[in-house]
């Protein structure tokens, strides 16, 4: 008797590894197929200059699924934090920085009304984000409202809102589709607070603060608890812990095994074809690649019903976030920033209009002449990231649309210059200390990690691609229309941001389907 | 028009503002036997539905200019035809391209499909899909227009029944239909159109309806919905068709006033209301700017909630929370208008002579980027340098508007800010704004300028000052999902009742919003009659569909 064919996980990103670990723990034979030399995907650490290491794409953790961390004993498998509960600091070229720590805001120019408003705002955001967190704990229901049995899980979603009480329920129904700019204007007069909070709502998005639905994006980000942390050794050590957890549970991880396509027999996926030409029989496939690549690239539209394929094709997934890495000979000095705050989460978003203006060019396929940034210096709290006395600066820079009209090869050096100029306005002496600069545009991210559009969340995190609409109706419960093929990437519910939840829920769905008669 | 009410008189209901919704409310209340008085600030009735002779011999529909959304149920119930309202359909539309061609939106479906195919064969097929899907959304919303939105947080029988009705309407859409509907309400018009059309020109051609009157760009999520406010109407049962009120939009107001008066209602012009009077939580009447007091247990305000709650009510009687809600209600002026008297018919060389679409809506933006850039200008506090125009020559269809051989051109302009970079409009601004519009028209109609005899330039500032629409917003409040249905104008106040007993809102700031539908007015009248225990006056869920 031959052993039952394995379940293949395509792509060793964090969600793929989480899914593999859960399936292996349930006794399934699981093999992760990873195209790169090492598993990790967007949660990786690489050396970009001799002796300088940086988290390659995602650089902060803010919503890691605590159930995943606990179930998979990630601490035991080596996950440690260099720093937890980072404060957010809003930089300014002409004023002292503002510091946001939990629900308190402090800094030059803030009056009692602003501080009080900030407290009320954070409390309200927390209450509403808790509703989303509750929705994120389970797969989204389908909206086939033909009977009570179908309506029950939908009613459960509604109950999470109802439970807020009348006043908050009304408020959530009102703000859910609103632009974050409108929402912030109801709370604050301080332009700088609005700028920083507006940035939180648009990081990784093809949207500006005035775009409808950005309140939702802000709540989504807060649903993970709202605290930022950095793993010791960068995001790669999270992946390393996941690899150890998956392996310990019995999963096999095969690197440099690029999947080129799926074998489909009688509407069921029966095997995977590797780029090397090898074909492997399987009992199921869970893809951690983005939905478009999985369904249109590896599977092929010919196996899909036309309407479904059309929905997948129209998924909104244009990446706008670039990543900048600098090797610095010494610690930078930012204007108005206290030295002890250098290791916090530093934001360049002086006001909401600045953020909106940064978004404007993206609509026409151009990059921002004055970009917004989320900056972190991992080497401040983690000596393993840079040689002694030297520093690493890691920044998410927006907006740098994947579909740049001029083409990234032609524009790359100009955009890098734009980024450095923006940084130098805040840290005048920075340029002289740069030993090496690396810029990853969404096009680079698309190529390196293999994400369509270079979009971190594997598809825009917006209301039209949320819950039972993520990635598209018909695949929102992780199973695809092709039997045996499942999705588990950030492109599925509840979305992106290094959560691990899609991987966990996808594994549970696969096991539930197997168990069903 | 005025029929001398004196201060000792007592009315069952007073309506503040003789806009089309105020008149509609009043007419339904009078029809139900109430003694009703409408008070109008201006010397003429109609609000933004008016016909005015601002250049001798020329009648301008100087604010709203076309008609389609006026609910047929109301038209029939108030017998508006008998009171002189005649809607004349007009034909199609055109989007000119910068290279001298055009995309024609013909009324005949086959011709239109062939015309789209001339530009993009794929899109001609997609148009069928687009029409089907969009009409499905229209049917869904049409059933809700003459219903009072339920309060989703309420456990009252009526609210639960309405929520159940809504749930059932949703379920009737089918699973895929529900998904499509959620997406429709959250997508931008650009993304919605991109799901159908390949061609930038075809997308641009359908984009205007997503942003007219709205302070959002084609890429702003939520604009797909605005499309419905241009598709959900009909003329003579022709869904989605548009027409002219013969004699200008004032004919709508005139017919409504005629209906009101036929039921014994009264209208007083030049009677600006200063305050709403109350004793405790009960409304007792109004006081005019002249100091005259008029008593009534019910007051309906055709004004927006900012003006009503913050302007007309005793501020001491208001909860701070309500004040905040009224302040936060988004009313953003984003459009302007030019009314032009012409010495002759302007020619558009792209169309040639005697083209059937010459009398339709003419548009000049042929790419999505031009639309979006027009919005970016508005965000910066200036009028669009390359604006979206909806240009019509009503006198080609309705010869009563001008002297023989002459023409009237109505040009709706998007985007125009309520203030120019934070300051009031100056005459120099208005002239420069007019020239911006003229320049764009000249690109397709060389020599157009020479025909101009008179041009009325209306910015949001004029609309606010003359009509009382805050910030000059034509819908009396943004049509975004956070301000629609049970959120319109804001949660807890979506059932037409104000914070005092006997106070009601009946303007476009209430469900289902603006566009000369008269539905808010009818719905508000229903609530008044319900509170009087007379539910038969305006049926709930009234629908021809």
Q: Which residues of A, range 195-214, sit inside 8 Å of B by Cβ? A: 207, 210-213
Q: How many angstroms separate the CA atoms of A303 and A295, rounded?
A: 9
Return all residues near A24 (Cβ < 8 A) that are at least 6 apart: A30, A246, A249, A250, A251
**DSSP class of residue A295?**
I
Q: Does residue A186 sit at the B interface (CB-CB below 8 Å)?
A: yes
Q: How many angstroms separate the CA atoms of A41 and A502, rounded?
A: 15
Residue B5 has a pLDDT of: 44
Q: How many angstroms separate the CA atoms of B78 and B215, rounded?
A: 34
| Chain length of chain A | 517
Average pLDDT over residues A173-178: 96
pLDDT at B380 over 70: yes
Residues of A in contact with B481 (CB under 8 A): 176-177, 212
CB B494 within 8 A of CB B485: yes
Neighbouring CB atoms inside 10 A of B458's CB total 24
**DSSP class of residue B385?**
S
Write the pLDDT tens digit of every residue in A254-286: 999 999 999 999 999 999 999 999 999 999 999
In sequence order, the β-bridge partners of residue A279 are A273
Cβ distance of A464 and B186 shorter than 8 Å: yes
Q: Residue B543, preceding bond cis, omega within 30 degrees?
A: no
Average pLDDT over residues A97-121: 95
Q: Which residue of A has its CA nearest to B482?
A: A174
Nearest-neighbour CA in chain B from A314: distance (Å): 6
Q: Does residue A34 sit at the B interface (CB-CB below 8 Å)?
A: no
Q: Which residue of A has its CA nearest to B478?
A: A178
Q: How many angstroms separate the CA atoms of A301 and A321, rounded?
A: 29
Residue B458 is encoded by which pair of tokens?
A: 């209306």
CB A7 within 8 A of CB A287: no
Q: Which residue of A has its CA nearest to B195?
A: A314
| Residue that the structure tokens 């740098």 belong to | A400
- Average pLDDT over all residues of chain B: 95
| Residue that the structure tokens 């030993």 belong to | A435
**A232 half-sphere exposure, CB direction, 13 A CA radius:** 10
Write the pLDDT tens digit of every residue in A458-478: 999 999 999 999 999 999 999
Q: Are strands B299-301 and B503-505 parallel, antiparallel or unpaired?
A: parallel
| Residue B450 three-state SS | helix
Residues B168-201, buried b or exposed e (16+ Cβ, 10 A)? eebbebebebbbbbbbbbbbbbbbbbebbbebbb
Cβ distance of A473 and B330 shorter than 8 Å: no
Residues of A in contact with B373 (CB under 8 A): 364
Q: Which residue of B has its CA nearest to A148?
A: B171
In sequence order, the β-bridge partners of residue A129 are none
Residue A73 has a pLDDT of: 98
**DSSP class of residue A296?**
I
Q: Does residue A84 sit at the B interface (CB-CB below 8 Å)?
A: no
Cβ distance of A173 and B187 shorter than 8 Å: no
Cβ distance of B372 and A174 shorter than 8 Å: no
Cβ distance of B176 and A473 shorter than 8 Å: yes
Nearest-neighbour CA in chain B from A3: distance (Å): 40
Residue B8 has a pLDDT of: 59
Burial class (CB in 10 A: 0-12, 13-18, 19+), A52: buried
Count chain A–chain B contacts defined by CB atoms under 8 A. Answer: 94
Neighbouring CB atoms inside 10 A of B143's CB total 16
Residues B119-129, buried b or exposed e (16+ Cβ, 10 A)? bbeebbebbee
Return all residues near B530 (Cβ < 8 A) that are at least 6 apart: none
Nearest-neighbour CA in chain A from B281: distance (Å): 22
Cβ distance of B182 and A464 shorter than 8 Å: yes
CB B408 within 8 A of CB B65: no
Residue B84 is encoded by which pair of tokens?
A: 């002189």
Cβ distance of A182 and B482 shorter than 8 Å: yes
Q: Does residue B373 sit at the A interface (CB-CB below 8 Å)?
A: yes
Q: Does residue A140 sit at the B interface (CB-CB below 8 Å)?
A: no
Q: Which residues of B, range 309-348, sit inside 8 Å of A by Cβ? A: 324, 328, 330
Q: How many angstroms separate the CA atoms of B453 and B457, rounded?
A: 13
Residue A58 is encoded by which pair of tokens?
A: 């995602």
Q: How many angstroms separate the CA atoms of A229 and B86, rounded?
A: 68
Cβ distance of B219 and A166 shorter than 8 Å: no
Q: Does residue A175 sit at the B interface (CB-CB below 8 Å)?
A: yes
CA B69 vs CA B66, B86, B108: distances in Å: 9, 14, 21
Cβ distance of B486 and A469 shorter than 8 Å: no
Q: pLDDT band at A1, cuts 50/70/90?
A: very low
Q: How many angstroms separate the CA atoms of B330 and A186, rounded?
A: 11
- Average pLDDT over all residues of chain A: 96
- Nearest by CB to residue A314, choosing from B194, B487, B491, is B194
Nearest-neighbour CA in chain A from B476: distance (Å): 18
Q: Which residues of B, range 92-121, sit inside 8 Å of A by Cβ? A: none
Q: What's this model's pTM, rounded to 2 decimal places?
A: 0.96
Write the pLDDT tens digit of every residue in A353-408: 999 999 999 999 999 999 999 999 999 999 999 999 999 999 999 999 999 999 99
Q: How many angstroms separate the CA atoms of A45 and A57, rounded?
A: 8
| Residue A302 three-state SS | helix
Q: How many angstroms separate the CA atoms of A20 and B76, rounded?
A: 66
**What's the start-to-end Cα distance of chain A, in Å?**
25
A328: enclosing H helix or E strand: strand A321-328
Residue A150 has a pLDDT of: 75
Q: How many angstroms separate the CA atoms of A458 and A460, rounded?
A: 7
Cβ distance of A213 and B369 shorter than 8 Å: no
Q: Does residue A146 sit at the B interface (CB-CB below 8 Å)?
A: yes
Q: Does residue B486 sit at the A interface (CB-CB below 8 Å)?
A: yes
**DSSP class of residue A229?**
B
Cβ distance of A213 and B186 shorter than 8 Å: yes
In sequence order, the β-bridge partners of residue B454 are B341
Average pLDDT over residues A163-186: 97
pLDDT at B286 over 70: yes
pLDDT at B2 over 80: no
Q: How many angstroms separate the CA atoms of A137 and A192, rounded?
A: 34
Q: pLDDT band at A149, cuts 50/70/90?
A: confident
Q: Residue A482, preceding bond cis, omega within 30 degrees?
A: no
- Best mutation target among A464, A469, A473, A481 (most B Cβ atoms within 10 Å) is A464
Q: Does residue B536 sit at the A interface (CB-CB below 8 Å)?
A: no
Q: Which residues of A, range 344-363, sit inside 8 Å of B by Cβ? A: 356, 360, 363
Among B189, B142, B14, smallest CA distance to B515 is for: B142
Q: Which residues of B, range 513-532, sit inside 8 Å of A by Cβ? A: none
CB B65 within 8 A of CB B394: yes
| Residue A194 three-state SS | helix
Residue A517 has a pLDDT of: 57
CB A498 within 8 A of CB A43: yes
B284: enclosing H helix or E strand: strand B282-288
Q: Which residue of A has its CA nearest to B183?
A: A464
Nearest-neighbour CA in chain A from B169: distance (Å): 11
Residue A45 is encoded by which pair of tokens?
A: 């650490």
pLDDT at B3 over 50: no
Write the DSSP assignment of B351-372 as a string of letters: T-TT-GGGGSEEE---SHHHHH
Average pLDDT over residues A441-450: 96
CB A460 within 8 A of CB A317: yes
E strand intervals along B178-281: 234-235, 238-239, 243-245, 266-268, 273-279
Return all residues near A184 (Cβ < 8 A) that are at least 6 apart: A121, A193, A194, A197, A198, A209, A352
Q: Does residue A172 sit at the B interface (CB-CB below 8 Å)?
A: no
A498: phi then psi, degrees, rounded to nearest 5: 50, 65
Residues of B in contact with A173 (CB under 8 A): 152, 486-487, 491
């Amino acid at each position: 008797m031959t052993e039952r064919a394995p379940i293949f996980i395509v792509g060793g990103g964090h969600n793929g590894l989480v899914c593999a670990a859960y399936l292996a723990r349930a006794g399934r034979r699981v093999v992760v197929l990873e195209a790169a030399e090492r598993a990790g995907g967007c949660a990786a650490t690489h050396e970009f200059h001799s002796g300088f290491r940086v988290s390659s794409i995602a650089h902060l953790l803010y919503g890691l699924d605590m159930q995943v961390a606990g179930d998979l004993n990630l601490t035991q498998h080596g996950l440690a934090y260099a720093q937890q509960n980072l404060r957010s600091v809003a930089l300014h070229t002409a004023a002292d920085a503002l510091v946001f720590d939990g629900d308190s805001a402090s800094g030059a120019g803030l009056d009692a009304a602003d501080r009080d408003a900030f407290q009320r705002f954070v409390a309200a955001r927390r209450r509403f984000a808790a509703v989303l967190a509750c929705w994120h704990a389970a797969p989204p229901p389908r909206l086939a409202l033909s009977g009570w049995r179908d309506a029950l899980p939908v009613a459960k979603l509604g109950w999470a809102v109802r439970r807020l009480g009348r006043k908050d329920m009304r408020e959530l129904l009102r703000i859910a589709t609103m632009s974050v700019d409108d929402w912030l204007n109801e709370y604050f007069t301080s332009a700088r607070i609005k700028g920083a909070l507006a940035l939180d709502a648009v990081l990784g998005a093809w949207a500006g603060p005035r775009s409808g639905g950005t309140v939702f994006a802000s709540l989504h980000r807060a649903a993970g608890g709202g605290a930022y942390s950095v793993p010791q050794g960068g995001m790669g050590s999270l992946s390393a812990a996941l690899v150890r957890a998956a392996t310990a549970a019995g999963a096999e991880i095969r690197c440099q095994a690029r999947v080129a396509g799926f074998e489909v027999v009688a509407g069921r996926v029966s095997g995977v074809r590797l780029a090397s030409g090898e074909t492997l029989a399987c009992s199921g496939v869970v893809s951690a690649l983005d939905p478009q690549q999985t369904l249109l690239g590896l599977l092929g539209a010919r196996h899909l019903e036309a309407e479904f394929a059309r929905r997948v094709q129209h998924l909104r997934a244009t990446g706008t976030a670039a990543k900048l890495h600098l090797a610095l000979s010494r610690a930078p000095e930012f204007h108005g920033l206290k030295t002890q705050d250098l290791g916090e989460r530093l934001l360049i978003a002086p006001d909401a209009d600045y953020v909106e203006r940064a978004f404007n060019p993206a609509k026409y396929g151009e990059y921002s002449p004055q970009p917004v940034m989320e900056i972190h210096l991992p080497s401040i709290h983690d000596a393993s990231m840079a040689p002694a006395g030297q520093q690493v600066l890691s920044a998410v820079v927006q907006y740098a649309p994947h579909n740049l009209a001029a083409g990234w090869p032609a524009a790359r050096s100009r955009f890098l210059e734009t980024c450095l100029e923006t940084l130098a306005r805040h840290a005048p002496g920075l340029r002289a200390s740069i030993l090496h600069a690396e810029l990853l545009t969404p096009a680079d991210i698309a190529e390196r990690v293999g994400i369509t559009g270079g979009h971190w969340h594997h598809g825009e995190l917006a209301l039209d691609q949320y819950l039972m609409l993520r990635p598209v109706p018909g695949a929102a419960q992780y199973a695809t229309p092709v039997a045996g093929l499942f999705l588990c990437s950030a492109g599925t519910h509840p979305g992106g941001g290094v959560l691990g939840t899609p991987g966990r829920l996808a594994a549970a769905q696969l096991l539930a389907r197997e168990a069903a008669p | 028009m005025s029929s001398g009410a004196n201060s000792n008189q007592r009315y069952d209901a007073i309506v503040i503002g003789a806009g089309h919704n105020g008149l509609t409310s009043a007419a339904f209340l009078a029809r139900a036997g109430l003694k009703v008085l409408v008070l109008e600030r201006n010397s003429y009735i109609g609000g933004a539905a008016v016909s005015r002779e601002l250049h001798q011999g020329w009648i301008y529909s100087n604010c709203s200019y076309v008609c389609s959304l006026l609910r047929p149920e109301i038209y029939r119930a108030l017998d508006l035809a008998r009171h002189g309202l005649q809607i004349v359909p007009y034909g199609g539309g055109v989007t000119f391209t910068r290279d001298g061609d055009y995309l024609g939106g013909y009324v005949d479906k086959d011709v239109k499909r062939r015309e789209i195919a001339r530009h993009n064969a794929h899109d001609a097929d997609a148009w069928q899909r687009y029409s089907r899907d969009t009409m499905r959304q229209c049917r869904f919303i049409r059933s809700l227009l003459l219903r009072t939105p339920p309060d989703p947080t309420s456990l009252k029988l009526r609210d639960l029944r309405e929520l159940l009705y809504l749930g059932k309407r949703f379920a009737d859409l089918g699973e895929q239909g529900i998904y499509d509907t959620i997406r429709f309400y959250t997508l931008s018009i650009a993304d919605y159109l991109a799901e159908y059309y390949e061609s930038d020109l075809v997308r641009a051609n359908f984009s205007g309806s997503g942003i007219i009157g709205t302070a959002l760009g084609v890429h702003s999520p939520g604009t797909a919905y605005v499309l419905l406010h241009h598709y959900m109407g009909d003329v003579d049962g022709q869904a989605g068709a548009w027409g002219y009120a013969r004699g200008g939009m004032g004919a709508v107001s005139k017919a409504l006033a005629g209906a009101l008066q036929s039921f014994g209602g009264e209208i007083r012009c030049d009677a600006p209301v200063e305050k709403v009077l109350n004793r405790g939580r009960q409304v007792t009447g109004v006081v005019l700017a002249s100091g005259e007091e008029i008593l009534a247990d019910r007051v309906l305000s055709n004004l927006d909630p900012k003006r009503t709650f913050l302007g007309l009510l005793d501020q001491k009687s208001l909860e701070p929370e309500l004040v905040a809600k009224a302040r936060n209600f988004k009313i953003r002026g984003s459009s302007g208008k030019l009314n032009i008297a012409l010495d002759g018919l302007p020619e558009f060389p792209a169309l040639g002579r005697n083209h059937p679409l010459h009398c339709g809506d003419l548009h000049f933006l042929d790419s999505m980027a031009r639309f979006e850039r027009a919005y970016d200008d508005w965000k910066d506090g200036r009028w669009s340098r390359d604006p979206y125009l909806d240009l019509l020559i009503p006198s080609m269809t309705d010869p009563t508007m001008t002297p023989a051989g002459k023409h009237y051109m109505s040009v709706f302009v998007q985007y125009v800010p309520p203030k120019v970079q934070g300051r009031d409009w100056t005459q120099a601004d208005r002239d420069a704004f007019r020239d911006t519009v003229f320049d764009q028209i000249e690109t397709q109609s060389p020599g157009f300028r020479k025909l101009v005899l008179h041009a009325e330039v209306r910015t949001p500032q004029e609309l606010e000052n003359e009509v009382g629409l805050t910030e000059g917003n034509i819908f009396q409040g943004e049509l975004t999902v956070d301000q629609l249905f049970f959120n319109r104008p804001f949660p807890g106040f979506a059932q037409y009742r104000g914070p005092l007993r006997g106070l009601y809102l009946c303007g476009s700031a209430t469900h289902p919003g603006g566009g000369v539908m008269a539905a808010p007015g009818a719905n508000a009248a229903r609530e008044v009659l319900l509170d009087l225990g007379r539910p038969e006056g305006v049926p709930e869920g009234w629908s021809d569909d």
